[in-house]
Amino acid sequence: MPRTATEEHVRRIYRETLDDFYGVVSRRCDGDRDLTEDVVQETWLRAVRAWRADGIPERPMAWLTTVATRILSNHFRRNTPDRIDDGTGDQLAAPDAGVARNSRERRSLVDRAIARLPVLQIRLLEAFHFDRRPVADIASSLGLSERAVEGRLRRARQNLRREIERDTYADGDVT
């Protein structure tokens, strides 16, 4: 059930999520700082507008991540050349344009699936797979045993796989 979006609620959520959210977006922008800042700003503008109208979602970080993923997906779709110039003035179709498009589609599929996971699972997956932190380091920072972190990572991967499959079947892309 969405909560009423008072200015104080939105500010509190902003303070609580900004660092993690910026990190998520930055990784998805491959470290492009200008693009990261644009996406974070646009996402928060949309959040304030939507949350005032509809209330604060139950999982604000998931909402923000989903919207940022869509913004990035649109950005990369608009800014990806389908043709290359070989220097002779003739336009040739890029031989790997299909491969690049498939890679973007897969990444978008994974990004959408990640956005639907619980925030703690997202953080675990990002810490281990994107930040390449060892399990022992993650366990120490969370106050858990290594075995507990490994179990949570396993469940997070299973949930991610389930979300990807759900998206794939929903799109009719069964292979």
- Poorest-confidence range of 7-11, 105-109, 110-114? 105-109
Considering the four listed CATH numbers 1.10.10.10, 1.10.1040.10, 3.50.50.60, 3.40.50.280, the one that applies to the domain covering 101-175 is 1.10.10.10
Q: What is the mean pLDDT of residues 53-78?
A: 86
The model's confidence at residue 89, banded by pLDDT at 50, 70 and 90, is very low
Q: Which residue has better confidence, 28 or 98?
A: 28
3-state secondary structure string across the chain? CCECCCHHHHHHHHHHHHHHHHHHHHHHCCCCHHHHHHHHHHHHHHHHHHHHHHCECCCHHHHHHHHHHHHHHHHHHHCCCCEEECCCCCEEECCCHHHHHHHHHHHHHHHHHHHCCCHHHHHHHHHHHHCCCCHHHHHHHHCCCHHHHHHHHHHHHHHHHHHHHHHHHHHCCCC
Mean residue pLDDT across the chain: 80
* Domain parsing of the chain, residue ranges: 1-80, 101-175
